[in-house]
Amino acid sequence: MEKLLASIPETGRALSVGRSTVYALISAGKLKTVKVGKRRLVLVDSTNAYVAALRGGD
């Protein structure tokens, strides 16, 4: 089964950016999140869409 959600640190590692940059991307609406209990998790699809947008939609 494919992973659907990632933690903030996991997302940062996947994008090769720091935690504060991930939070900035979330605040800017470029990454979508959900809350599961007290945890804020990033939708992997939104991370993939962000990278695709950076590449020009390739």
Tokens describing residue 57? 């939609």
Give me the pLDDT at residue 58, please: 58
| pLDDT tens column, 3-22 | 999 999 999 999 999 999 99
Instruction: Set out the domains of the chain in order of their start, with CATH numbers.
Output: 5-54 (1.10.10)
What confidence category does residue 57 fall into, taking pLDDT thresholds of 50, 70 and 90?
A: low
Task: Name every residue whose Cβ is closer than 8 Å to that of residue 23 and which is 6 or more positions away in sequence.
Answer: 8
Tokens describing residue 31? 């990454």
| pLDDT tens column, 24-48 | 999 999 999 999 999 999 999 999 9
Query: What's the whole-model pTM score?
Result: 0.89
CA distance 34 to 17: 20
